[in-house]
Amino acid sequence: MGKDAEKIFHELKDDISTYAELRLKLIKLSSYERISRVLAVLSYGLLLWALLFITVQFALLALGFLLSQWLDSMAAGFGIVAALYVVQVALVIYNKDRIRLKVMNIIISALNSNEHDKDATTDSTSANDSSYTD
């Protein structure tokens, strides 16, 4: 009886070790997936903002030339455009907390986007416990 118990204990120990190793690999893969998802969202956002920035720059440059032509003064036309820049900076400074919160929510939603999906690591009760909604 002692040999059977020892054999069962050894097999159980091997099974637990295998389970722990597989669980660790699953956690690593899940972390890689979440990090890559956040990086993809941030890269997309950065690219979008860069294109928007360039578009706004050219639009304001064109507006500066247009106003200069209408006002017959290069300084007045570009002075008005400079005032628009000051207003934009003031709006960003005024809304910095809102902007920061929005960026944080985007990152958190990217991290938690698969929290409501049922996978091998969650049971039916924990998959539905998430208060996050898309």
HEC states along the chain? Answer: CHHHHHHHHHHHHHHHHHHHHHHHHHHHHHHHHHHHHHHHHHHHHHHHHHHHHHHHHHHHHHHHHHHHHHHCCHHHHHHHHHHHHHHHHHHHHHCHHHHHHHHHHHHHHHHCCCCCCCCCCCCHHHHCCCCCCC
Rounded Cα distance, 25 and 10, in Å: 23
Task: Tell me if 134 is assigned to some domain.
Answer: no
Question: Does a structural domain hold residue 84?
Answer: yes
Residue 19 domain-assigned (yes or no): no
The pLDDT value given to residue 50? 95
Query: Tokens standing for 118?
Result: 């049922």
Which amino acid appears at position 21 of this protein?
A: E
Judge if pTM exceeds 0.85: no
Indicate whether 83 belongs to any domain: yes
**Which residue is associated with the tokens 């722990």?**
20
Domain membership flag for residue 20: no
Residue 48 lies in a domain: yes
Residue 65: which domain range?
35-114
Work out the angle between the directed axes of helices 74-94 and 96-111 (0-180°, nearest 10). Answer: 60
Residue 91 lies in a domain: yes
In angstroms, the CA 72 to CA 59 distance is 19
pLDDT of 108: 84
Give the per-residue pLDDT at 115.
54
pLDDT per 10-residue tile (average), the chain, 134 residues = 80 91 92 87 91 95 95 95 95 94 86 58 44 44
User: What pLDDT, on a 0 to 100 scale, did the predictor assign at position 82?
Assistant: 96
Domain count, the chain: 1
Find out whether 67 and 80 touch, Cβ atoms under 8 Å.
yes
pLDDT of residue 107: 83
- Residue 74 is assigned to a structural domain of this protein: yes
